[in-house]
Structure 1
Amino acid sequence: MLAIIERFGPMLIDGALITLKITAISVTLAAMLALPLSLLRIQASKKLRWPVQMFISFFRGTPLIAQLFLLYYGTGQFRPVLMELGLWGFFRDPLNCALLTFTLNSAAYQTEILRGALQSVDRRSIEAGRAMGMPNLLLYRHIVLPLAYRTAFPALGNEAILMLKGGAVASVITVMDLMGQTRRAFSQSFDISLYLVAALMYLTISIVFVVLWRYAERYLNRHRILQQRRRSSRSTILN
């Protein structure tokens, strides 16, 4: 295995960097889309909710690889139209298609996560803000969104990890991410241990991400942690 790592290690590292790039860009863009979509999702008007609900149902109810094929191979059916619009250069690049597909897929999941978090915000906090005369913009900025994101933060981290692993399907449309480079190296060596190395690399990336995400979660909830410590110390003194 050491000889395989020495021979194909640079290829796998390059693929891992592409994987991290795809995951970071798609999850970040999805987060930017998820916020306005989640706000539309909780509106009382059905005309505002139904388009978002259909978008979420499609991308959560169909396989990621099917979505990728529809976008990458399906847009080829409209090549003349896309060329007239000047968009063919974007859609003929498999990396761009993978980024767009993963962004839309992750946005659907993140929208539902944020929707649940927004609806779980304590109504007393909202009423207190309104009693202080805060307009809706300030109310969401200073009360609703901070509380919602603190609640949704662990689930958003899980979604990022799922996208990191699910993004391996990009290799089927010739994107040279970690799995794509692994398949390429395997076609040259026929050594099955390459897939074990790739799996360990995915595992290492996931573990590092989880550790960093937990540190960020503790930082966001530092006030709650301090309050819990104070309560526990008081109960210990009283006992």
Structure 2
Amino acid sequence: MQALLDWLDGLLANNSIFTLQTLSFYGDGLTTTVQLVFLSLIIGLVMAVPLAIGRSSRHGFIKWPIFLYTYVFRGTPLLIQLYLIYYGVVFVEGIQDTWLWAIIKEPFMPALFAFTLNTAAYTTEIFRGAIKATPQGEIEAARAYGMSPALALRRIVLPSAFRRALPAYGNEVIFMLHASAIASVVTLMDLTGAARFVYARFYAPFDAFLFVAAIYLCLTFTILYFFRFLEKRLLAHLRPMT
């Protein structure tokens, strides 16, 4: 087995800078990027649904704190948020003496925290707009069937809002994938971090970064295809009949 790996390593080395060792760096970076983006999107989506409901509330003491949160995180660059969370956590008094330090001292957790808060803010506004755009006739029909406001929200408003928000949310997913490239500035070895490492080692910036760009492009088209498939399935009733 080792002989086969050495043969493949030599074959790749004769062709370009992409040896098995450098490809393993790219593989680890791809894994880190996918984990970071996937976890931040899932957690952010779970956070955004109740926040969007609260943001649509008529009560000021509920919607205004949520508005302030979304305003701050949508109005400031993600890079600044990442810096503040990554470097600011060490200034929390006594944090290094707790069990949390073993988790947050690694760059992945602060990056995940920053990305989650950022995407949750954008997703909250996406779903709030979709909830507000719910046709009044659907709500009146739910009331006519005797549904309570909570039941109508769960069975009518949220499913309908999710279908309307799907195209905008697909753009948010792609945005988060592209924004994940800044995670390498806090020493996280993601795809961009792997490209920087290869560039520093072989002094071949075009090869290193063009390869990463191709990976991002493949991931982007995969996401686009997935959301187009969802849109066709969930919005099939809106297509004109032939």
Instruction: Tell me by how many angstroms 1:223 deviates.
Output: 2.5
Aligned to 1:237: none
Instruction: Tell me by how many angstroms 1:91 deviates.
Output: 2.1
Instruction: Tell me by how many angstroms 1:85 deviates.
Output: 5.1
1:188 aligns with 2:207: no
Relative to the length of structure 1, the TM-score reads: 0.91
Following the alignment from structure 1 to structure 2, what is the Cα–Cα distance between the partners of residues 115 and 85? 38
- How many equivalent residue pairs? 227
Q: Is the 8 A contact 2:90 2:96 kept in 1?
A: no
Aligned to 2:34: 20
1:130 aligns with 2:143: yes
Distance 1:53 1:131, change over 3 A: same
Instruction: Tell me by how many angstroms 1:130 deviates.
Output: 0.5
Q: 1:216 aligns with which of 223, 230, 237?
A: 230
Q: 2:100 aligns with which of 87, 93, 101?
A: 87
- Cα displacement string for residues 46-89 of structure 1 (whole angstroms, at most 9, x for unaligned residues): 111111011101111111111011001011111x4224553222
1:35 aligns with 2:41: no
Instruction: Tell me by how many angstroms 1:141 deviates.
Output: 1.5
Equivalent AA in structure 2 for residue 169 of structure 1? I
Moved over 4 A (4+): none
Instruction: Tell me by how many angstroms 1:127 deviates.
Output: 0.6
Aligned to 2:158: 145
Equivalent AA in structure 1 for residue 116 of structure 2? T
- Cα displacement string for residues 97-134 of structure 1 (whole angstroms, at most 9, x for unaligned residues): 11111000000000000000000000110011001100
Q: 1:4 aligns with which of 8, 11, 17?
A: 17
Equivalent AA in structure 2 for residue 33 of structure 1? M
Aligned to 1:103: 116
Instruction: Tell me by how many angstroms 1:12 deviates.
Output: 1.1
1:71 aligns with 2:85: yes
Following the alignment from structure 2 to structure 1, what is the Cα–Cα distance between the partners of residues 94 and 69? 24
Following the alignment from structure 2 to structure 1, what is the Cα–Cα distance between the partners of residues 31 and 227? 19
Aligned pairs for 1:158-237 within 5 A: 158-192=171-205, 193-225=207-239, 228-229=240-241, 233=242
Following the alignment from structure 1 to structure 2, what is the Cα–Cα distance between the partners of residues 55 and 68? 16
Equivalent AA in structure 2 for residue 49 of structure 1? K
Which of the pair has the greater relative contact order for Cα pairs under 8 Å at 6+ separation?
1
- Cα displacement string for residues 5-40 of structure 1 (whole angstroms, at most 9, x for unaligned residues): 345222112211211111111001000000010011
Instruction: Tell me by how many angstroms 1:44 deviates.
Output: 1.2
Aligned to 2:132: 119
- Cα displacement string for residues 185-219 of structure 1 (whole angstroms, at most 9, x for unaligned residues): 11101101211111111111101111111111111
3-state SS of paired residue (1:171): helix
Q: 1:59 aligns with which of 73, 84, 95?
A: 73
Q: Which runs of 5+ in 1 are unaligned?
A: 234-239
Relative to the length of structure 2, the TM-score reads: 0.90
Percent identical: 37
Q: Which runs of 5+ in 2 are unaligned?
A: 1-11
Aligned to 2:7: none
- Cα displacement string for residues 145-166 of structure 1 (whole angstroms, at most 9, x for unaligned residues): 1110000001111101100010
Instruction: Tell me by how many angstroms 1:222 deviates.
Output: 2.2
1:156 aligns with 2:169: yes
